[in-house]
Amino acid sequence: VLSGCGVYDGTEIHEASAILVHLSRGGAEVQMYAPDVPQMHVIDHSKGQPAEAESRNVLVESARIARGKIASLAKLTTADHDAVIFPGGFGAAKNLSTFAVDGKDCKVNREVERVLKDFHKAGKPIGLCCISPVLAAKVLSGAEVTVGHEEEEGGKWPYAGTAGAIKELGGKHCVKEVTISFPVNFHVERQFAHVDTKNKVVTTPAFMCETELHNIFDGIGAMVKNVLKLTGK
């Protein structure tokens, strides 16, 4: 499920690509969706500032990442799919919810909320990365998620405050890494992703951390691997 195209006002493109690569490697068939709604605003990514008097549609922009093969989120049903995955990017906090503006008092897009609740009720896994775990924390009471660390640690975790917001939303936050720590855990992928086995919610920090791109890629791979494992296929 995409939220636009571009980290500051939509889907984080590297995260979406990493998810698609790992799903492909895992032998999964993929269908992409996005809500057919206007973006909260448009950001000029070369300046990091809002582009005044410009508007874009989330579905139309998401089609850039999907290479045109995308459908309205309203058409997504649990009957047609084994799992659902949400990349990060500010679009998750601006277009799929109002978290970027309202924090713990945020509202979640009606279709996003429906999808999360439907997959949860059906016992089908939900994967989320970067900032998107806030969606699960808001909609699925008591869900265990990770956005990485809970302290900024000199700028390594610039969005560490999100962990506190997750707790205020009613979720449980679990600290996870984006690089291998020593001694190495036998289940290395569990260092990169948190698996809430009760709710079948799998999360990984991704770009919540300032680190090299390959670390982001590997962490997302751990999330995807665990999502696929939970499908039982």
Other C-beta atoms lying within 10 Å of the C-beta of residue 27: 8
Verify whether residue 174 is a known catalytic residue: no
Give the integer Cα–Cα distance in Å for 125 and 123.
Answer: 7
Residue for token pair 């992409």? 32
Furthest C-alpha separation in the chain: 53
Burial 147-160 (b: 16+ CB within 10 A, else e): bbbbeeeeeebebb
**Active-site hit among 5, 106, 129, 130:** 130
Angle in degrees, 0-180, between the axes of helices 213-231 and 13-25, rounded to the nearest 10:
50
Cα angle at 128 between 41 and 152, to 5 degrees? 75
- Residues involved in catalysis: 130
